Amino acid sequence: MTQPASWSHYAAPRHAMRRLLISCHGAGEQSGPQPPFRRRSLPTRGLVYISEGHGEYEEYEPHGRKVPVLGPAVIWLTPGTLHGYGSDARGWSEHWVLFEGESFAAFEASGLGGHHRPVQALARPVDDADEIFDQLREAVGAVGPRAEIAASVATQRLLLAILDAADPVEGTTDGASVIDLVSRDATRPLSVAARAAAVGLSTRELGVLVRAATGLTVNDFVIEVRIARAQSLLAETALDVGQIAAQVGYDDAAYFSRIFHRRAGAAPSAFRRQQSRGQIDENHPSRAESIPENPMI
């Protein structure tokens, strides 16, 4: 197993950096057997690139799932998600970055990240990973605007390299590509049958594939994707609840608020207070009214 340098640096980027660019809040490398994380929750996004080795990712809420990790792979960490991960007894080679920023949405639209698929297998190791982490080590270990910009550039370079290593094949119906396609259309008001037709499968085939990949029904998967996107918008933007509801596929802000509370365990305004680090003013969602469940999720 390749032995990366063992190091970790943390940073506190200024608000303008967090608002305008992808900001890097920490990075590091280590290898070999390490104590596992248990029941941890982060205020920012994170990624853990496993270049070599085996282990497991565990998500405690809301579904209590465990996902095997086989390098090369990336573990995607979302804000506020109670999780844990660690290698098997032989250890692994691990590189990690903590980051946040609205511009990550462009990478999500290309198939990276996401609460629905926290472990992403890669077709090949990430190109230039050692060089990129050398840049992160230097940039995050320094202070000042120039260092913050350098760390942002290195983080985006890493994200692009991960996107290249994932090597999605357009038009295929393997599990990963179907999950990505359904995720990308999650904000559209489609029935399950329409979602299946969009990826060239029967309703039953899509249901079997989604459950095998995520442990969820198609409807629950779509809701999870929507709620995950709403969480990012609440934490990282000043959009009001109605605007966020519309962006993630709900015409009625009150209905969205009830779904969000049920899935995230807190009202949208409360989640924003918990995760926005005080940078975004609390908004006041519309008064809820009783409406029926919508079959066009």
Q: Render pLDDT for 266-284 as a digit per residue (tens, 0 to 9).
A: 999 999 988 765 544 444 4
Give the DSSP per-residue string, 93-153: EEEEEEEE-TTHHHHHHTT---TT--EEE-SSPPTTHHHHHHHHHHHHTS-SHHHHHHHHH
What is residue 293's predicted lDDT score, i.e. its pLDDT?
39
Average pLDDT over residues 212-241: 88
Orientation of helix 218-236 relative to helix 203-214, angle to 10° = 50
Query: Which burial class, exposed, middle or buried, applies to 173 when counting CB atoms under 10 A from its CB (0-12, 13-18, 19+)?
Result: middle
Please give the C-alpha separations between residue 226 and each of 6, 259, 262, 280, in angstroms, as whole numbers. 37, 10, 13, 21
Q: pLDDT tens digits, residue range 21-78?
A: 899 999 999 999 989 999 999 999 999 999 999 999 998 876 678 899 999 999 999 8
What is residue 273's predicted lDDT score, i.e. its pLDDT?
87
pTM of the model: 0.61
What is residue 290's predicted lDDT score, i.e. its pLDDT?
32
Amino acid found at 283: N
> What is the Cα–Cα distance from 104 to 100, expressed in whole angstroms?
7
Please give the C-alpha separations between residue 21 and each of 17, 152, 290, in angstroms, as whole numbers. 5, 7, 40
